C-alpha cells in the first residue's frame, strides 16, 4: 500500500530560501534593475566600492561600518535612483539593531599650547632684563657726579694735611729774601775793598753768618775758596754767593702749575713720581703755585670757576670738563 502524498517537495541544493518581507536593499536593487543600471554603474556614480554596493543591496550592514554610514549610503542611493529616501530610512532604522554610543577621540599632540606658568616666567625674565638695563643707564649717567661728591665728603681731612705739607715743600718765596741779603752782604766787601787788600780778604767771611742754615750749606764751597787762595777778589766771591743762592729758584721755577680759584673747588694734583702736590677744597679767591716732576695729573671740580696756567701758558679746561658733573680731568706733560 503506497504512502499518501502530502504534497511536500524537495528543494534543490543551489536554491536559496525565500526571504520573508522586503528589505531596503531589495527595494534598491529592484529599482536599479528597473532602470537598467549595473552594480558597477552605481558604484562609479556614488564613488563607492562594488563590495559596498553589494553589501547594501544584501542588507549586510556590518560591512558598512555601522548604521550611520548605512543611512548615508541609502540616502545617496535613493537620490541616484530618484526615489523618496524617507520611507527607506524609516525602514532601515527599524531593521538596524540599536548601536552603542560611539566615543570620538581627537588627538591634539601636534598642537601644543603655551601654559600660563611658562608665559609668566618668560614675562618675569623680560621685565628683569629691562629693569637691569635702566639701572645700568642711570648709573653711567650719574657716575661722575657721585664720584665727585664721594671724594669731597671723604678726603677733606687728609687733603688738608697733605696739601699744607705740599705747599710748604713747594712754595719758593722764602728763597727771595736770602738773595737780597746775600747780595747786600756780598757787596759790602766790594765797597770796603778800596781801603786795602788786607781788609777785603778779612771781609769774605762776613756773609756766611747772615745766611739761613740751608743756604749756609750751599755757600760753604764758596767760602772755602778764599781760605785756600787769598788772592780771590771780593767781586768774584759776591758772584759765587749770588750763583749758589739763586740756583734753587731757577730749579723751582721749571714745570710750574698756577691755579687761580674764582669759586670754591675741590682739586687734586699729582706729579709723575706719584707725589700728592695738592688735595683739598679751595675757597674762592685762593691761588696755588705747584712744582714737581712731569707729567702732572689733575682733577679739578667746578672747573668753570678755575683758571689754570702751566709754564706761564693758560690752559683751557673746557675740553676736559664733564658735562654732567663739571669736573675736569687732564694730564700735563
Those residues with Cβ within 8 angstroms of residue 311's Cβ, 6 or more apart along the chain or in another chain: 255, 256
Q: In the prediction, which pLDDT does 147 show? A: 60
How do beta strands 306-310 and 313-315 pair? Answer: antiparallel
Q: Using one digit for the tens of pLDDT, what is the confidence trace for 196-239?
A: 444 433 343 334 444 444 333 443 343 333 333 333 444 443 44
* Domain termination residue (choose one: 198, 221, 250): 250
**325 and 271 belong to one structural domain:** yes
**235 and 221 belong to one structural domain:** yes
Q: Whole-angstrom Cα distance, residue 330 to residue 313?
A: 15
203 assigned to some structural domain: yes
Q: How confident is the model at residue 318 (pLDDT cuts 50, 70, 90)?
A: very high
**293 and 325 belong to one structural domain:** yes
Q: Using one digit for the tens of pLDDT, what is the confidence trace for 71-97?
A: 888 889 889 989 988 988 888 888 776
Domain harbouring 303, CATH code: 2.60.40
* Domain termination residue (choose one: 95, 111, 144): 95
Domain range holding 299?
Answer: 254-332
For the purposes of burial, counting CB atoms within 10 Å of the CB of 298, is it exposed (0-12), middle (13-18) or buried (19 or more)? buried
Q: Whole-angstrom Cα distance, residue 47 to residue 2?
A: 62
Mapping DSSP to helix (H, G, I), strand (E, B) and coil, where does residue 264 land?
coil
**246 and 258 belong to one structural domain:** no
Q: Whole-angstrom Cα distance, residue 100 to residue 325?
A: 86
- DSSP secondary structure, 68-134, as one string: HHHHHHHHHHHHHHT--SHHHHHHHHHHSPPPPPPPP----TTS----HHHHHHHHHHHHHHHHHHH
294 assigned to some structural domain: yes
162 assigned to some structural domain: no
Taking phi over 0 as left and psi of -120 to 50 as alpha, with beta for the rest, 249 belongs to alpha
Cell of 177: 729774601
How many folded domains does the chain comprise?
3
130 assigned to some structural domain: no
pLDDT > 90 fraction of the chain, expressed in percent and rounded: 30
Closest CA to 239 of 196, 175, 189, 174: 189
* Domain termination residue (choose one: 95, 130, 149): 95
Q: Using one digit for the tens of pLDDT, what is the confidence trace for 9-22?
A: 333 333 333 344 57
**197 and 239 belong to one structural domain:** yes
Domain harbouring 53, CATH code: 1.10.260.40
Q: Whole-angstrom Cα distance, residue 306 to residue 326?
A: 11
Q: Whole-angstrom Cα distance, residue 133 to residue 27?
A: 82
Residue 158 has pLDDT above 90, yes or no: no
Q: Whole-angstrom Cα distance, residue 233 to residue 230?
A: 8
105 assigned to some structural domain: no
Q: In the prediction, which pLDDT does 100 show? A: 55
Strand partners, 256: 291
Task: State pTM to two decimals.
Answer: 0.28
**81 and 42 belong to one structural domain:** yes
What is the strand order of the sheet 328-332 is part of? Answer: 276-282, 265-270, 296-300, 328-332
Contact indicator for 314, 290 with CB cutoff of 8 Å: no
198 assigned to some structural domain: yes
Q: In the prediction, which pLDDT does 189 show? A: 41
The dihedral over CA atoms of 144, 296, 331, 305, expressed in degrees to the nearest 10, equals: 60
Amino acid at each position: 500500500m503506497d504512502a499518501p502524498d502530502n504534497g511536500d517537495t524537495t528543494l534543490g541544493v543551489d536554491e536559496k530560501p525565500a526571504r520573508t518581507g522586503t528589505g531596503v536593499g531589495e527595494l534598491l536593487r529592484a529599482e536599479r534593475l528597473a532602470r537598467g543600471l549595473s552594480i558597477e554603474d552605481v558604484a562609479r556614480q556614488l564613488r563607492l566600492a562594488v563590495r559596498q554596493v553589494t553589501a547594501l543591496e544584501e542588507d549586510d550592514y556590518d560591512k558598512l561600518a555601522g548604521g550611520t554610514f548605512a543611512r548615508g549610503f541609502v540616502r545617496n542611493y535613493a537620490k541616484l535612483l530618484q526615489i523618496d529616501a524617507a520611507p527607506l530610512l524609516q525602514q532601515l532604522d527599524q531593521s538596524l539593531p540599536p548601536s552603542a554610543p560611539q566615543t570620538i577621540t581627537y588627538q591634539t599632540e601636534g598642537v601644543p599650547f603655551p601654559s600660563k606658568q611658562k608665559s609668566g616666567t618668560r614675562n618675569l625674565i623680560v621685565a628683569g632684563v629691562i629693569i637691569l638695563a635702566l639701572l645700568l643707564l642711570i648709573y653711567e649717567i650719574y657716575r661722575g657726579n657721585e664720584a665727585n661728591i664721594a671724594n669731597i665728603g671723604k678726603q677733606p681731612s687728609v687733603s688738608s694735611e697733605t696739601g699744607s705739607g705740599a705747599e710748604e715743600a713747594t712754595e719758593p718765596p722764602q728763597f727771595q729774601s736770602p738773595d737780597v741779603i746775600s747780595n747786600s752782604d756780598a757787596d759790602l766787601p766790594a765797597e770796603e775793598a778800596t781801603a786795602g787788600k788786607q781788609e777785603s780778604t778779612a771781609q769774605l767771611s762776613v756773609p756766611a753768618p747772615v745766611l739761613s742754615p740751608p743756604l749756609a750749606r750751599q755757600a760753604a764751597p764758596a767760602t772755602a775758596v778764599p781760605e785756600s787762595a787769598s788772592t780771590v777778589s771780593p767781586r768774584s766771591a759776591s758772584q759765587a754767593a749770588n750763583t749758589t743762592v739763586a740756583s734753587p729758584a731757577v730749579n723751582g721755577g721749571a714745570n710750574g702749575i698756577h691755579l687761580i680759584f674764582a669759586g670754591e673747588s675741590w682739586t687734586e694734583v699729582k706729579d709723575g713720581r706719584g707725589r700728592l702736590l695738592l688735595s683739598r677744597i679751595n675757597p674762592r679767591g685762593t691761588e696755588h703755585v705747584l712744582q714737581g716732576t712731569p707729567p702732572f695729573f689733575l682733577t679739578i671740580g667746578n672747573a668753570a670757576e678755575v683758571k689754570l696756567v702751566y709754564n706761564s701758558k693758560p690752559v683751557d679746561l673746557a675740553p676736559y670738563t664733564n658735562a654732567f658733573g663739571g669736573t675736569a680731568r687732564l694730564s700735563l706733560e
